[in-house]
Amino acid sequence: MNSGWSGRIDGTAPEHLRWHQIVEPYEPGGAPGACAFVGFASDEGVRRNKGRRGAAAGPDALRSALSPMALAAPLRAIDAGTVAVAGERLEEGQRELGSRVTALLDAGHFPVVLGGGHEIAYGTYLGLAGSTRRAPGTRVGILNLDAHFDLRPDPVPSSGTPFRQILEADGDSVQYSVIGISQPSNTKILFDTAATYGVRYLLDEDCGQSNALAFVDDFLAGVDLVYLTIDLDVLPAAVAPGVSAPAAFGVPLATIQSVCDYVTASGKLAVVDVAELNPSLDVDNRTARTAARLLHRIVTGHVALVG
């Protein structure tokens, strides 16, 4: 199929398969249990947040990076297309993304949302919040792997506001936690805002693997469903140069991968998204390939767990 799913074909038997050979277009009413990709092509939130634009090209770059990766075992994967934010119509795009995520969850699939700026988070959350997966009394945990809180008090929504929007609407039933916060990249008012909303966080300089996994263990103990959101600027700039705000320090890739593995193995993961890939700023597709590798592990681990 198109939209970035293409690559080398060594054969069609299970032992030859790569991602681009198994992804099929989404058809409502199909059998449940598939990994379901959906893109969110948006620069508007980054523009409003005065960041470097280019993330709208992220979804297809992620598809292209994932396409040639080899599969250890066959699985089902579908692509529900891309929500493209036209001009300044960010809020409309977020609602559309939410509708698609809700439909995929209610159909029994595992949504993997490809961004786009981190304004993707509000749309992804709307999808989970509106789905039947979130039964009354369910406590949702949002685990953000990110150098930034994205809790800005700005009156106009942007890539810097999504989690404040979520907490303002549903704070009593949501635990928001962040791994990788860079102190120099967040003003004191953002730390104060985090304290006001009961946000738990781990600074990038404290993200040794044992510390990070202990943090995740505490997080998982208090929630029923998990939304995992990966802002690629959590990684060191040498690993992820293709982002709006490259990290001067960052969290080691091995730690981020271990956190993703741990969350996946919990059985509580309902939806995942990747944000802030900016292909125009990438070096040798380094950032896209790193993100694709993380998604590859998350999805194959999720399939092995539920299968």
Q: Tell me, what CATH number does 209's domain have?
A: 3.40.800.10
Binning pLDDT at 50, 70 and 90, where does residue 50 land? confident
pTM for the predicted model, two decimal places: 0.97
* Residue 109 in marked binding region: no
In a domain, 7, yes or no: no
Give every CB contact of residue 54 below 8 A, 6+ residues apart in sequence: 43, 244, 278, 279, 280, 281
In a domain, 306, yes or no: no
Q: What CA–CA distance (Å, rounded) separates 191 from 189?
A: 5
* Residue 296 in marked binding region: no
- Asked if residue 307 has a cis previous peptide bond (ω within 30° of 0), the answer is no
* Residue 150 in marked binding region: yes
Of 140, 219, 234, 230, whose CA–CA distance to 186 is shortest? Answer: 234
* Residue 233 in marked binding region: yes
Contact 19, 5 (CB under 8 A): yes
By CB atoms closer than 10 A (0-12, 13-18, 19+), residue 302 is: buried
Binning pLDDT at 50, 70 and 90, where does residue 305 land? confident
- Residue position matching structure tokens 């990788």: 180
In a domain, 277, yes or no: yes
pLDDT at residue 130 above 60? yes
Beta-strand (E) ranges in 102-190? 110-115, 140-145, 174-181
In a domain, 5, yes or no: no
**Least confident span in 97-101, 155-159, 264-268:** 155-159
pLDDT at residue 1 above 60? no
Strands 225-231 and 269-275: parallel
In a domain, 6, yes or no: no
Question: What's the domain count of the chain?
Answer: 1
User: What range defines the domain where residue 61 resides?
Assistant: 14-301
pLDDT at residue 2 above 70? no
In a domain, 4, yes or no: no
In a domain, 57, yes or no: yes
Binning pLDDT at 50, 70 and 90, where does residue 307 land? low
What is the rounded average pLDDT of the residues 164-171?
A: 94
In a domain, 211, yes or no: yes
> Any bridge partners for residue 123, and if so which?
none
Binning pLDDT at 50, 70 and 90, where does residue 3 land? low
